[in-house]
């Protein structure tokens, strides 16, 4: 069965047969002009203004958003927004930096930002009062750096595999650390999960496929053994895991981790001996809450 659309108006008759779309050209019908499309910069402006409208902005920081104007044709003059030039002579948003302003929101329209800002590489929103879930961030396929620390985000931490830097500390995330974290081939800094409500075990292969440097998960409810492979690639400098429910022995593999500078497992349920190579490391102090 063929389903025809625009048969009387367009030189291109599009029909579906068994789920496949086929284009048929008719020389006898006039060609309509292509649909009007907004320049990329305009759609990016709209996305950023949608983000701004979701925020409650204290009067003391209103000046920061003064350049976020509805009449703007380019987002590149917005305070806190970075752009780069494109091959077409225009520009596209690569970074958003709304940091330490105390703005609040019941939810952040991550889906709008990710859909409309395909070149976004860095999203930095720390030290505000932003809430809601962050599942929409998975749509930012080009994102490499995500900093949401010191906010009120909640729910699960989704699979954020393309990232190199991730910081979601001091929020209210729950659930387990996604198993996909162990497949982060580009992840270097995971100094980011501390002071949440995360449970379960760390992914078994965490650090096996990336040059992981920092892992900081203190003050959660993580349990199970300390995974032995986080220094497998020979890049780990900091492994800080106090105030959890980890159990078992400290893996002997960390005694041979020559890059390790800081190792902390205070206030867990560890047993057994401390590998000799760890005694030479400085005694870490837990940051104040």
pLDDT digits (tens, 9 = 90+) for 233-283: 888 888 889 999 999 998 888 888 888 888 888 999 999 888 877 766 655
| pLDDT score, position 42 | 52
| pLDDT score, position 161 | 75
Clarify whether residues 10 and 95 are in a common domain.
Answer: no
Clarify whether residues 2 and 98 are in a common domain.
Answer: no
Integer Cα distance of 69 and 72 in angstroms? 6
- Residue 230: pLDDT over 80: yes
Clarify whether residues 9 and 90 are in a common domain.
Answer: no
| pLDDT score, position 188 | 65
- Residue 52: pLDDT over 70: yes
Q: What percent of the chain has pLDDT over 70?
A: 76
Q: Does any domain span residue 289?
A: no
- Residue 62: pLDDT over 70: yes
Roughly how many angstroms between the first and final C-alpha of the chain, as a whole number?
Answer: 66
Residue 118 Cα distances to 2, 75, 94, 121, 158, angstroms: 36, 14, 8, 9, 19
Clarify whether residues 125 and 150 are in a common domain.
Answer: yes
Integer Cα distance of 126 and 130 in angstroms? 9
Clarify whether residues 101 and 135 are in a common domain.
Answer: yes
Average pLDDT over residues 94-100: 98
Model pLDDT for residues 136-170, shown as the tens digit of each residue: 999 999 999 999 999 999 999 998 877 888 899 99
Model pLDDT for residues 4-21, shown as the tens digit of each residue: 334 333 333 333 334 333
What is the chain's mean pLDDT, rounded? 81
Q: Does any domain span residue 286?
A: no
- Domain with 32, as residue range(s), is 1-36
Clarify whether residues 155 and 25 are in a common domain.
Answer: no
Q: Does any domain span residue 283?
A: no
- If one compares 288 and 53, the residue with the highest pLDDT of the two is 53
pLDDT-wise least confident of 74-78, 123-127, 181-185: 181-185
Highest mean pLDDT among 26-35, 68-77, 121-130, 174-183: 121-130
| pLDDT score, position 3 | 40
What's the CATH number where 84 sits? 3.80.10.10
| pLDDT score, position 90 | 62
**Cα 151 to chain centroid, rounded:** 14
Number of domains in the chain: 2
Q: Does any domain span residue 287?
A: no
Clarify whether residues 116 and 164 are in a common domain.
Answer: yes
Clarify whether residues 32 and 117 are in a common domain.
Answer: no
Q: Does any domain span residue 285?
A: no
What the block records as the tokens of 169 is: 């500390």
Clarify whether residues 190 and 215 are in a common domain.
Answer: yes
| pLDDT score, position 135 | 96
Q: Are 64 and 54 in contact (CB under 8 A)?
A: no
Strand ranges of the sheet holding 20-25, from the earlier edge strand across to the other edge = 3-5, 12-17, 20-25
- Residue 31: pLDDT over 70: no
Binned at pLDDT 50, 70 and 90, residue 205 comes out as confident
Clarify whether residues 140 and 20 are in a common domain.
Answer: no
Average pLDDT over residues 210-228: 88
**Cα 148 to chain centroid, rounded:** 8
Q: Which residues contact 225 (CB under 8 A, 6 or more apart)?
A: 201, 246, 247, 248, 251
């Amino acid at each position: 069965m063929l389903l025809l659309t625009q048969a009387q108006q367009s030189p291109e008759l599009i029909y579906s047969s068994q789920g496949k779309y086929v284009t048929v050209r008719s020389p006898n019908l006039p060609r309509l002009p292509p649909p009007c499309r907004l320049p990329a910069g305009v759609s990016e402006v709209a996305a950023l203004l949608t983000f701004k409208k979701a925020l409650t902005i204290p009067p003391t920081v209103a000046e920061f958003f003064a350049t976020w104007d509805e009449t703007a044709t380019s987002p590149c003059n917005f305070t806190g927004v970075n752009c780069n030039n494109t091959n077409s002579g225009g520009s596209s948003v690569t970074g958003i930096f709304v940091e330490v302003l105390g703005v609040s929101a019941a939810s952040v329209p991550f889906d709008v930002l990710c859909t409309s800002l395909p070149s976004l590489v860095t999203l930095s929103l720390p030290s505000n009062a932003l809430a809601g879930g962050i599942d929409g961030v998975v749509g930012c396929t080009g994102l490499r750096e995500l900093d949401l620390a010191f906010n009120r985000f909640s729910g699960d931490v989704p699979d954020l595999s393309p990232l190199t830097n991730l910081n979601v500390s001091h929020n209210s995330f729950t659930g387990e650390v996604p198993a996909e974290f162990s497949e982060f081939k580009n992840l270097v800094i995971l100094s980011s999960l501390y002071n949440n409500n995360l449970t379960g075990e760390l992914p078994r292969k965490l650090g096996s496929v990336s040059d992981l440097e920092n892992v900081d998960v203190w003050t959660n409810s993580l349990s199970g053994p300390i995974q032995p492979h986080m220094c497998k690639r020979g890049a780990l400098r900091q492994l800080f895991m106090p105030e959890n429910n980890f159990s078992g022995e400290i893996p002997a593999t960390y005694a041979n981790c020559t890059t390790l500078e800081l190792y902390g497992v205070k206030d867990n349920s560890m047993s057994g001996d401390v590998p000799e190579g760890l005694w030479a490391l400085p005694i870490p102090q837990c940051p104040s809450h």
